[in-house]
Structure 1
Amino acid sequence: MQLAQIREATVPRKEGARHALAALADATGETAHATVLSGQTLYGLCECESPRHAIRAVIDLNTFPLHATASGLCALAFGPEDLLCVAAQDLERFTANTPTDTDGLTSLVDAARATGIGRAYKSYAEETYGLSAPVFDQTGQFAGAVAVASVATRFTPKLEQTILAELIIAAREITRNWGGVIPAHVEAAWAHSVKQSNAMEPAS
């Protein structure tokens, strides 16, 4: 009975994310994936790898560390307030860049809240740079995140511009498919982030 209820709850969400993930992977050439928050745990929902590169990020997580992944930082920034306390209780070090103290984690969460984008630079895996955006459901609350896991060695300002723009498109589509609406303050943060990214692009 419990498994049937879980399937009933998750399958529509998978269907609501798959098209957006395929488009995101195609546009960026990187691995796109979605997560859902259930209670105090962030679960992997589905992913899509781009065939553009032979070397690409592989998502092999069932649950995502809140402190060490881009999706986790989105959950801390836009999800329930008590999540930060939960994350602070287990700041496991995965790489040299993993935040392992509350101040460092809070700084990353504040940055995600201000920009509307979670960023994890080699904090879970040495070879991966992750960017994520929050998605919302019919309750108006944070429901999960959509993210791009890029191979760190090919992450450039130009690729960052592309990922940011396409992430926002995907987050809007998934949110709409899940019956939600992007909050105004998140839209404003995204607009500022895209503007800043464009301004940092060197003139040709």
Structure 2
Amino acid sequence: MHRAEAQLSTSENVGLLRTKDNYQMDVNAQDLPNTGVRSDSPLNKIHHYHVTQNFAPDIMHDLLEGVCPLELKLVVKALIDKRLFNINLLNSRLVSFNYGSGDNQNKPCIFSASSMTNPDGAPGQNAAQMWCLIRHFPLMMGDLVPEDDEHWELLILLLKCMDIIFSPVISRGDTVYLKHLIQDHHQHFLELFVMQGN
């Protein structure tokens, strides 16, 4: 899938998944802008391994240090812009919140004004802090946000996805539900932050 198309896609197109053969064709083409492949991965030298057959996602990097910091920052900025709360109140609640003994070691860092404009998301949070923050955020700030707020709904969709993704055991039905949740989440994200130009 071309990068421009991938940025607006909300679900996987099985017909476009890489195989060993089409990956090798893209390596041989040496056409990064059109194939997305710069060169053959050194990992392919590992016996019985190929990057097109790696189905081991990394939820720490993908979610806790990827999607969550960026999305939480965007949602917080939108809620602040709507004047539902300000950064001082957010930080006051972050500091005074009772995280309990399980999360006491992973208290999140406070937000700075500059972190709201940083394209890297919520800087300063490591994965454990982000896991703590994203789970407790609705309890910390939910009383200030209307239930039907479109940005809040996006965060709730993300949390519903994470409930399944981080679950130690899931059913086949959960995977079907998750697929639809992810598609709804991605569509909502596009509507809020891409198609509106925010």
Could you say which structure has the larger radius of gyration?
2
Question: Which has more helix, going by share of residues?
Answer: 2
TM-score of the superposed pair, with normalisation by structure 1 = 0.27
